[in-house]
Amino acid sequence: MADSGSRTPHMLVITFPAIGHINPQLKLAHHLLAAGLTLTFMLTPKNLKPLLSLHSCEKIRTLVLPLPDTPGLPPGVENLAEVPGVHLAWLFVQAYANLSALIRCWVESHPYSPMAIMSDIFFSVEAGRLAGCLRIKLIGFSPQNALCVRGFWVRPKAAKVNSAIVSS
């Protein structure tokens, strides 16, 4: 799939449209662009303007796809901030995951296919399937620091606390 010519490496970046995820990924993208990589950002129409306000159109490419209508989500939702309640966030993640067939068609028909996908941690399962089908690398991105991520898998030991009664 990937072009093996003399072009600069090309990576598809799939962001999670939430401020706490987009901003750190854009900071990393800034360094990748400065190193000479070509980046294509997959995003929805409403998330295009914030991206372009941070980087010039010449430096980045975009793959703008409409978020599919998803039962249970209000029409037009394209950012986690627009989801009316955290209990619906999983529907939002699923709606984004449903874009993988369109992304695959784009990659397969693109004359300068990406050599890798950098995906937010929330899309790592679907992006992993997609990268496997396309036979390209997957780079996972998490905005959390290493200690936080470690906490997902390692259960901390209980600390002994001396109890005391304090009277006023």
7 found inside a domain: no
Residue 3's pLDDT is what?
46
Amino acid found at 62: T
Residue 2's pLDDT is what?
45
CB 103 within 8 A of CB 12: yes
Q: What b/e readout covers 44-75, taking b as 16+ CB neighbours within 10 angstroms?
A: bebbeeebeeeeeeeebbbbeeebeebeebee
Question: How many domains in the chain?
Answer: 1
9 found inside a domain: no
150 found inside a domain: no
Three-state DSSP state, 62: strand
Q: List, run by run, the mean pLDDT of 10-residue segments along the chain (168 residues).
A: 65 85 83 90 85 68 90 88 85 88 94 92 86 93 70 63 53
28 found inside a domain: no
110 found inside a domain: yes
76 found inside a domain: yes
Kindly state the tokens that stand for 141: 């991105």
CATH at residue 100: 3.40.50.2000
Q: Is the pTM higher than 0.75?
A: yes
Range of the domain at 74: 35-46+60-144
CB 46 within 8 A of CB 54: no
52 found inside a domain: no
67 found inside a domain: yes
Q: How far apart are CA 147 and CA 91, in angstroms?
A: 28
Residue 102's pLDDT is what?
94
Amino acid found at 157: K
Active site residues: 21, 120
Residue 139's pLDDT is what?
92
